[in-house]
Structure 1
Amino acid sequence: MLHIIKSSPYATHALSHCLAYATPDSVIVLINDAVLGALANSPLGAALFTDNRSVYVLEEDVMARGVQAHLHPQVKQIDMQGLVQLTEDHVTQMTW
């Protein structure tokens, strides 16, 4: 299942709710302010980067916030084309 999170983990509980429902093989994409959840010092980092879960951030949102040097080492950056490909690859999706 593809989970797309849009809001900052410091403003809402969307990411923590997603993590409660995500399975180990879920794919999680952080966009907009949610990319702050993928920082190396994020309090949710331990829960986010567990199991075999793939975690992606939208590259343009990371750059817009100037946090590219502070990302968790396990996160993968994708561009808009990569996001479109993930949505095509996953029939089941949820946006938080």
Structure 2
Amino acid sequence: MKLTGTILRCLARRVSSGGKETYVTNLLVLDPDNSAGTNYAVEVWDEKPHDLRLMSGIALTVIGVVNKNSGVPAFRAVIAPRVEAEEAPAAA
């Protein structure tokens, strides 16, 4: 599942998982496509912390559900690769 939205909160922390150190970046993402303004809590696990600007856009690929019992849906995701805006258009 793809999730695009606006970053409302970003906090990274270092954790030990399986004997190696890794980082968890917790995001709160506003889904602009949902007219009710749904917020999603998202965990991104990676070998490096992500320092993302608040109120910037982000594209995520959801790979799992962390919690589906509370009020805010919580997902585990990876940050989708960025599509370069400067890609040269095909020659006509």
TM-score by length of 2: 0.23
**1 or 2, which has the higher helix percentage?**
1
Bigger-Rg structure (1/2): 2
**1 or 2, which has the higher strand percentage?**
2
TM-score by length of 1: 0.22
